[in-house]
Chain A
Amino acid sequence: MSQAMLDLLWRSFWETIIMTGFSGLISLVAGLPLALILILTDRGGLAENLWINRSLGAVINGFRSVPFIILLVALIPVTRFIVGTSLGTWASIVPLSIAATPYYARIAEVSLREVDRGLIEAARSMGATRWTIVREVLVPEALPSLVAGFTVTLVTLVGASAMAGAIGAGGLGDLAIRYGYQRFQTEIMLAVVAILIVLVSGVQWIGDRLVERLDHRIVKR
Chain B
Amino acid sequence: MNTQAINILAHAVAQAQPKAASGDIVVKLTDVRRSFGETPAIDSVSLSVMRGEILGIIGRSGAGKSTLIRCLNGLERPDSGSVQVEGVEITALDERRLQPVRRRIGMVFQHFNLLSAKTVEDNIALPLKIEGQSRAQRRKRVAELLELVGLSDKAKNYPAQLSGGQKQRVGIARALAAKPSLLLSDEATSALDPETTRAILALLKDINRQLGLTILLITHEMEVIRRVADRVIVLDRGRIVEEGPVWQVFANPAADTTKSMLQVLIPELPPVLRERLDPATGDDAVVRVRLSGDAARRPFFAGLAEATGIGVRLLHGGIDTVQDEPVGTLFLGLPARDRAALEKAVQYLNANADHVEVLGYVSGDA
Residues of A within 8 A of B (CB): 116, 118-119, 121-129, 132, 136-137, 140-141, 143, 214, 216-219
Cβ-closest 3 pairs across A and B:
A127-B102, A127-B103, A122-B113
Are A129 and B99 within 8 A (Cβ)? yes
Interface membership of B127, Cβ < 8 A: yes
Closest to A144 in B: B117
- Please name all residues of chain B whose beta carbon is closer than 8 Å to the beta carbon of A137 when the two chains form the complex: 115
Query: Closest CB-CB distance, A112 to chain B, in whole Å?
Result: 13
Main secondary structure of the interface of A (DSSP, over half): helix
Query: Closest CB-CB distance, A39 to chain B, in whole Å?
Result: 17
Are A119 and B126 within 8 A (Cβ)? no
| A121-B75, A123-B126, A124-B75 known; A216+B116 contact, CB < 8 A | yes
Interface membership of B178, Cβ < 8 A: yes
- Please name all residues of chain A whose beta carbon is closer than 8 Å to the beta carbon of B178 when the two chains form the complex: 126
Query: Closest CB-CB distance, B302 to chain A, in whole Å?
Result: 55
Interface membership of B227, Cβ < 8 A: no
Interface flags, B191-203, vs A, CB<8A=1, else 0 = 0000000000000
| A123-B126, A125-B105, A136-B129 known; A118+B113 contact, CB < 8 A | yes
B109 contact from A118, A129, A132, A141, Cβ within 8 A = A118
| A118-B111, A136-B126 known; A217+B116 contact, CB < 8 A | yes
| A126-B127, A140-B118 known; A216+B75 contact, CB < 8 A | no
Query: Closest CB-CB distance, A131 to chain B, in whole Å?
Result: 11
Residues of B within 8 A of A (CB): 73, 75, 96, 98-103, 105, 107, 109, 111, 113-118, 126-127, 129-131, 158-161, 174, 178, 184
Interchain residue pairs with CB less than 8 A apart (23): A119-B113, A119-B115, A121-B109, A124-B102, A125-B107, A126-B102, A126-B103, A126-B126, A126-B127, A126-B174, A127-B103, A128-B99, A128-B126, A129-B96, A132-B129, A136-B115, A136-B129, A140-B117, A214-B117, A216-B117, A217-B116, A217-B160, A219-B161
A143 contact from B96, B113, B117, B126, Cβ within 8 A = B117
- Please name all residues of chain A whose beta carbon is closer than 8 Å to the beta carbon of B184 when the two chains form the complex: 125
Closest to B119 in A: A216
The complex places the Cα of A125 from the Cα of B186 at a distance, in Å, of: 12
Closest to A120 in B: B113
Are A127 and B101 within 8 A (Cβ)? yes
Query: Closest CB-CB distance, A221 to chain B, in whole Å?
Result: 10
Name the residue among B111, B115, B161, B174 with the largest chain A CB count within 10 angstroms: B115
| A127-B130, A216-B160, A217-B160 known; A122+B117 contact, CB < 8 A | no
Closest to B159 in A: A216
- Please name all residues of chain A whose beta carbon is closer than 8 Å to the beta carbon of B114 when the two chains form the complex: 122
- Please name all residues of chain B whose beta carbon is closer than 8 Å to the beta carbon of A216 when the two chains form the complex: 116-117, 158-160
B75 contact from A125, A136, A140, A219, Cβ within 8 A = A125
The complex places the Cα of A21 from the Cα of B118 at a distance, in Å, of: 30
Name the residue among B107, B117, B178, B184 with the largest chain A CB count within 10 angstroms: B117
The complex places the Cα of A34 from the Cα of B126 at a distance, in Å, of: 26
The complex places the Cα of A65 from the Cα of B105 at a distance, in Å, of: 48
The complex places the Cα of A125 from the Cα of B98 at a distance, in Å, of: 10
The complex places the Cα of A67 from the Cα of B105 at a distance, in Å, of: 53
The complex places the Cα of A125 from the Cα of B117 at a distance, in Å, of: 19
- Please name all residues of chain B whose beta carbon is closer than 8 Å to the beta carbon of A124 when the two chains form the complex: 75, 102
Are B130 and A128 within 8 A (Cβ)? yes
A141 contact from B115, B130, B160, B174, Cβ within 8 A = B115
Query: Closest CB-CB distance, B117 to chain A, in whole Å?
Result: 4
The complex places the Cα of A127 from the Cα of B106 at a distance, in Å, of: 10
The complex places the Cα of A121 from the Cα of B99 at a distance, in Å, of: 13
